[in-house]
Amino acid sequence: RGSRVSGCGSASFYSCGPRVCIVGSGPAGFYTAQHLIKVCPVLLVFLSKGSRSYLQTSFQSFATTMKSFYICGFFFICPPSQARQDVEVDIYERLPVPFGLVRFGVAPDHPEVKNVINTFTQTANHSRCSFYGNVNVGKDVSVEELQRAYHAVVLSYGAEGNRRLGVPGEDLAGVYSARDFVGWYNGLPSCRELSPDLSCETAVILGQGNVALDVARVLLSPINMLKKTDVTQPALEALAESQVRRVLIVGRRGPIQVACTIKELREMVNLPGTRPEMVAADFEGVTEALKDVPRPRKRLTELMLKTALEIPGEKEQQRRSMASRTWGFRFFRNPVEVLADPGSNRTAGVRLAVNRLEGSGEGGRAVLTGEVEDVSCGLVINSIGYKSLPIDPSVPFDSRRAVVPNNMGRVQQATGLYCSGWLKTGPTGVIATTMNNSFDTARSVVEDMDSGTLDVSAAKSGSQTISALLEERGVKPVTFSDWEKINHAEMRKGEAVGKPREKLLTVEEMLQVARA
Nearer to ligand FAD, 264 or 502 (CB): 264
Q: Which residues lie below 8 Å from residue 416, measured CB to CB, with a gap of 6+? A: 147, 150, 151, 152, 153, 454
Is 435 near ligand FAD (CB under 6 A)? Answer: no
Nearer to ligand FAD, 90 or 160 (CB): 160
Is 134 near ligand FAD (CB under 6 A)? Answer: no
Q: Which of 39, 43, 113, 172 binds ligand FAD (CB under 6 A)?
A: 113
Whether 475 has a binding-site annotation, put simply, is no
For residue 135, CA distances in Å to 34, 94, 416, 466, 473 come to 21, 5, 21, 10, 11
CA distance 357 to 368: 9
Is 251 near ligand FAD (CB under 6 A)? Answer: no
CA distance 449 to 354: 54
CA 406 to chain centre: 21
On the CB side of 202, how many CA atoms lie within 13 Å of its CA?
14
Q: Which residues lie below 8 Å from residue 448, measured CB to CB, with a gap of 6+? A: 152, 410, 454
Is 249 near ligand FAD (CB under 6 A)? Answer: no
- Compute how many other C-beta atoms are within 10 angstroms of the C-beta atom of residue 497: 11
Whether 252 has a binding-site annotation, put simply, is yes
The 3-class SS string of 178-244 reads HHHHHHHHHCCHHHCCCCCCCCCCEEEEECCCHHHHHHHHHHHCCHHHHCCCCCCHHHHHHHHHCCC
Nearer to ligand FAD, 69 or 92 (CB): 92
Q: Which residues lie below 8 Å from residue 395, measured CB to CB, with a gap of 6+? A: 143, 155, 404, 411, 414, 417
Whether 93 has a binding-site annotation, put simply, is yes
Q: Which of 110, 346, 351, 493 binds ligand FAD (CB under 6 A)?
A: 110
Stretches 22-30, 406-414, 481-489, 493-501: which one binds ligand FAD (CB under 6 A)? 22-30
Is 228 near ligand FAD (CB under 6 A)? Answer: no
Whether 186 has a binding-site annotation, put simply, is no
Is 391 near ligand FAD (CB under 6 A)? Answer: yes
Q: Which DSSP helix (H) or strand (E) runs through 466?
A: helix 463-472
Is 23 near ligand FAD (CB under 6 A)? Answer: yes
Whether 208 has a binding-site annotation, put simply, is yes
Q: Which of 176, 422, 480, 483 binds ligand FAD (CB under 6 A)?
A: 422
CA distance 313 to 113: 32
The DSSP 8-state label assigned to residue 24 in this structure reads -
Whether 101 has a binding-site annotation, put simply, is yes
- Taking residues 158 to 187 in sequence order and writing x for each that binds ligand FAD by CB under 6 A, - otherwise, the string is x-x---------------------x-----
CB 394 within 8 A of CB 144: yes
Residue nearest to ligand FAD (CB): 26
Stretches 6-14, 93-101, 439-447, 484-492: which one binds ligand FAD (CB under 6 A)? 93-101
- Taking residues 335 to 374 in sequence order and writing x for each that binds ligand FAD by CB under 6 A, - otherwise, the string is ----------------------------------------
- Taking residues 460 to 479 in sequence order and writing x for each that binds ligand FAD by CB under 6 A, - otherwise, the string is --------------------
Is 108 near ligand FAD (CB under 6 A)? Answer: no
Is 430 near ligand FAD (CB under 6 A)? Answer: yes
The 3-class SS string of 235-266 reads HHHHHHHCCCCEEEEECCCCHHHCCCCHHHHH
Nearer to ligand FAD, 16 or 381 (CB): 381
Q: Which of 93, 145, 170, 490 binds ligand FAD (CB under 6 A)?
A: 93
- Compute how many other C-beta atoms are within 10 angstroms of the C-beta atom of residue 425: 22
For 1-6, the CB contacts below 8 A with 24+ separation are 1/127, 1/130, 1/463, 2/130, 2/463, 2/464, 2/467, 3/464, 4/88, 4/462, 4/464
CA distance 470 to 164: 35
Stretches 47-55, 104-112, 117-125, 224-232: which one binds ligand FAD (CB under 6 A)? 104-112
Stretches 43-51, 75-83, 95-103, 246-254: which one binds ligand FAD (CB under 6 A)? 95-103
CB 422 within 8 A of CB 159: yes
CA distance 487 to 230: 13
According to CB under 6 A, which residues from 24 to 83 bind ligand FAD? 24-29
Residue ranges binding ligand FAD (CB under 6 A): 23-29, 92-95, 100-101, 105-106, 110, 113, 136-138, 156-158, 160, 182, 211, 214, 386, 391, 421-422, 429-431, 434
Residue ranges for the known binding site for NADP(+) are: 208-211, 252-253, 264, 429
Residue ranges for the known binding site are: 28, 93, 101, 137, 208-211, 252-253, 264, 422, 429-431
